[in-house]
RNA sequence: GGAGGGAUGACAGAGCGGCCGAAUGUACCGGUCUUGAAAACCGGCGUGGGCUUGCCCACCGUGGGUUCAAAUCCCACUCCCUCCGCCA
């Protein structure tokens, strides 16, 4: 949620920033007007309530003094005022909830570093990495044996069975088997092992309350993209970010705890509404995938470092796996609702000949912290909202795809990088 | 799923419907004392919001209700504990 105080103080700044993200000026002005109206109503309601309280105090006093006549008179007056108070309060609450609804639908203010743009085609590529580039090697030219899509390799080797996934849960659900399943497990283990020096490992529930989903900004705006367990009022988490951000919801952290870094491996559920049929072959886009998330609560001053640390760790994993990738600075049109600044990592898939998003490293400023009400105690004793940052390290379905294609041998086997060998009993070749 | 008990400030723990935003203890912060520390003593010590910055309002698990007045009474829900049932 954006900062109401900032909206009051510098409405033009907010209007300009949100206009970059396609929020109309009229929308912002409506919020400003509702805020003014709300405060006026609030003053009146509180004035009446103060009077009722004062009268009630006097009623009690009169009763103690056995002055029944005065007490009855005051009671009557207070009762009438109470009716007025109720009306005023209801009017106040109505405006407050309208304002809240409006604010909940508004996206975060984009950072200055975010380029303007309409959609993903306007994202700005920052740089690329590939094995050997430091020694002057060119971007790899992939052989014909690497130009085979992962779903074909997966079927050939019996390690990926999309048909069975569909049989069990419908299309766009994957089923890994044998070495394919083991590879998935190895990737999560590898990542979690790499993060253990600085990030506490968490195993959160896969389902979340509506309130939990609200805190990250996934609800109310993106309800159609979430799986709902309606009967119990729960939602399947689309990312580990959801439970991690709410882990300390409503709490005041001590500044000495920050940055508080957490990591979690979770399954991520996404309905991908409207995506049916497009770029959905194999593992390109699935309804459920495994991901390791990195997350930090931090002070505003720590946010840049925390963001850089997550990005570095995600990059290091891709480098260890030897997969070429690129970094994109997301433009205003592609930025997630809650994010102020996001760097995407895309791995290259030679078999599909496309770049695949495997991580989004985002800084949310205090947008999520305001919704989740996570604050910290500063050294001078006051409280302030924390900043949240998070990123994947990594989303495994697409990494799995890129690995299988990149390391596909001419003889049809897949020889995985040595870093994974220990997870395969020493020989990470799938035949 | 059934029966019972509970939920109050950082923690522990009081709180006959009316000077209760809340006793007391611990922790914490400041001070006195001390060579220093401990102990003792003194003082301070929740979070939001509004505006005329001095006041007002809200918050005692959550949401309703009763009342002139609710931490306190009523209803529903959630969570925790104990017991029974079921179960990976």
Query: Strand B closer than 7 Å to the CB of A44?
Result: no
pLDDT value at residue A275: 65
List of domains in chain A: 4-104 (1.10.287.40), 120-430 (3.30.930.10)
Closest Cα to residue A430, out of A194, A173, A184, A265?
Answer: A184
Omega before residue A220 within 30° of 0, cis:
yes
Q: What is the tens place of the pLDDT at every residue in A138-188?
A: 999 999 999 999 999 999 999 999 999 999 999 999 999 999 999 999 999
- Pair of tokens at residue A297: 């609560």
Q: What average pLDDT score do residues A83-88 get?
A: 93
- Whether the predicted pLDDT of A72 surpasses 80: yes
> Which of these ranges, A31-40, A104-113, A252-261, A363-372, has the smallest mean pLDDT?
A252-261
Q: How far is the CA of A154 from the C1' of B58 (A)?
A: 60
pLDDT value at residue A278: 66
Look up the pTM and report it.
0.94
Q: What is the tens place of the pLDDT at every residue in A132-152?
A: 999 999 999 999 999 999 999
The bases of strand B with some atom under 7 A from any protein CB are 18-19, 47-51, 56-58, 67-69
Query: Strand B closer than 7 Å to the CB of A56?
Result: yes
User: SS3 of A145, please?
Assistant: helix
* CA–C1' nearest nucleotide, residue A60: B18
Task: Using CA atoms of A205, A206, A212, A215 in order, give the dihedral in degrees to the nearest 10.
Answer: 120
Residue with tokens 């995506």, as numbered in its chain: A275
> DSSP per residue over A374-429, as a string?
-EEE-TTS-EEEPEEEEEEEEEHHHHHHHHHHHTB-TTS-EE--GGGGGGGTT--E
Confidence of residue A327 (pLDDT cuts 50, 70, 90): very high
> Strand B and chain A: which residues 328-387 have CB closer than 7 Å?
375, 381, 383
Residues in CB range of A177: below 8 A, 6 or more apart: A158, A159, A160, A161
Q: What is the tens place of the pLDDT at every residue in A364-403?
A: 999 999 999 998 888 777 788 999 999 999 999 999 999 9
Q: How far is the CA of A376 from the C1' of B27 (A)?
A: 19
Could you tell me if A271 and A227 are in contact, meaning their C-beta atoms sit under 8 angstroms apart? yes
Give the neighbor-by-neighbor strand order of the sheet with A383-385.
A252-254, A375-377, A383-385
HEC letters along A152-168? HHHHHHCCECHHHHHHH
User: SS3 of A92, please?
Assistant: helix
Higher pLDDT: A104 or A192? It is: A192
Could you tell me if A118 and A124 are in contact, meaning their C-beta atoms sit under 8 angstroms apart? no
Helix or strand holding residue A363 (H, E):
strand A354-363
For residue A288, list its beta bridge partners. Answer: A269
Query: Strand B closer than 7 Å to the CB of A409?
Result: no
Query: Strand B closer than 7 Å to the CB of A49?
Result: yes
Could you give the CA distance from residue A110 to residue A237 in angstroms, rounded to a whole number?
25
Confidence of residue A291 (pLDDT cuts 50, 70, 90): very high
């Amino acid at each position: 949620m954006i900062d109401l105080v900032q909206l009051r103080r510098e409405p033009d700044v907010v209007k300009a920033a949100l206009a970059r993200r396609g929020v109309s000026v009229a929308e912002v002005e409506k919020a400003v007007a509702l805020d003014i109206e709300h405060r006026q109503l609030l003053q009146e309601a509180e004035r009446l309530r103060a009077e009722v309280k004062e009268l009630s105090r006097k009623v009690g006093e009169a009763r103690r003094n056995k002055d029944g006549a005065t007490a009855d008179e005051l009671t009557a007056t207070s009762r009438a005022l109470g009716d007025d108070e109720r009306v005023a309060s209801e009017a106040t609450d109505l405006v407050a909830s309208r304002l809240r609804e409006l604010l909940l639908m508004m996206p975060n203010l984009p950072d200055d570093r975010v380029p303007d743009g309409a959609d993903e085609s306007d994202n700005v590529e920052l740089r690329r990495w590939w094995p050997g580039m430091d020694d002057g090697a060119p971007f790899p030219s992939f052989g014909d044996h690497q130009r085979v899509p992962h779903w074909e390799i997966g079927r050939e080797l019996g390690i990926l069975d999309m048909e069975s996934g569909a049989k069990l849960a419908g299309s766009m659900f994957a089923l890994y088997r044998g070495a394919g399943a083991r590879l998935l497990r190895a990737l999560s283990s590898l990542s979690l092992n790499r993060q253990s020096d600085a990030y506490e490992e968490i195993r959160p529930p896969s389902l979340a309350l509506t309130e939990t989903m609200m805190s990250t900004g996934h609800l109310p705006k993106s309800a159609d993209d979430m799986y709902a367990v309606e009967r119990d009022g729960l939602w399947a988490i689309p990312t580990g970010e959801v439970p991690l951000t709410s882990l300390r919801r409503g709490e005041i952290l001590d500044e000495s705890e920050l940055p508080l870094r957490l990591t979690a491996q979770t399954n991520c559920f996404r309905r991908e509404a409207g995506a049916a049929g497009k770029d959905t072959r194999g593992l390109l886009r699935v309804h459920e995938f495994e991901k390791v998330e990195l997350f930090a609560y931090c002070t505003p001053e720590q946010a840049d470092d925390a963001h850089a640390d997550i990005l570095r760790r995600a990059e290091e994993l891709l480098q260890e796996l030897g997969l070429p990738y690129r970094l994109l600075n997301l433009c205003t049109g592609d930025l997630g609702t809650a994010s102020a600044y996001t760097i995407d990592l895309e791995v290259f898939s030679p078999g599909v000949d496309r770049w695949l998003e495997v991580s989004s490293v985002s800084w949310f400023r205090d947008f999520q912290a305001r919704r989740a009400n996570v604050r910290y105690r500063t050294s001078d004793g006051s409280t302030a909202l924390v900043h949240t940052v998070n990123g994947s390290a990594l989303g495994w379905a697409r990494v799995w795809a890129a690995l299988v294609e990149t390391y596909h041998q001419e003889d049809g086997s897949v020889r995985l990088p040595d870093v994974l060998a220990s997870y395969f009993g020493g020989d990470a070749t799938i035949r």
